[in-house]
């Protein structure tokens, strides 16, 4: 695993896309898939996503937008037109909305 969350996010997205294509192919062709193999792949993807850094919105601060391709986070009221790192034009809001959460314990 890498030291930065961006490449973890990119790897997770690539693995998720490949798994989705396999599932679609299996559905369209009638070829079976191994449920345990799929469950293992989902577990690996989940681990990669969990290792990517989460972002909590600052009080009164800009929103955080994460590039869907490389995981780069940018700040602003709206998502940028293109990612400065990879050129992709798809972002999702990366702010965590947990106003009453004080710790991960529970």
Do 2 and 53 touch, CB atoms closer than 8 A? no
Q: Whole-angstrom Cα distance, residue 31 to residue 66? A: 36
Confidence of residue 82 (pLDDT cuts 50, 70, 90): very high
- Both tokens of 78, joined, read 């709206």
pLDDT of amino acid 89:
92
pLDDT of 1 above 50: no
Query: What mean pLDDT is reported for the chain?
Result: 75
Q: Above 60 in pLDDT, residue 68?
A: yes
- Does position 48 have pLDDT exceeding 80, yes or no? no
């Amino acid at each position: 695993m890498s030291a930065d969350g961006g490449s973890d996010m990119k790897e997770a997205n690539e693995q998720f896309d490949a798994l989705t294509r396999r599932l679609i192919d299996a559905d369209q062709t009638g070829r079976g898939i191994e449920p345990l193999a799929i469950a293992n792949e989902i577990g690996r993807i989940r681990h990669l996503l969990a290792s990517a850094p989460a972002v909590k919105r600052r009080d009164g601060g800009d929103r955080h937008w994460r590039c869907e391709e490389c995981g780069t986070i940018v700040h602003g009221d709206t998502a940028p037109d293109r990612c400065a790192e990879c050129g992709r034009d798809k972002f999702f809001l990366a702010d965590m909305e947990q106003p009453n959460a004080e710790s991960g314990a529970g």
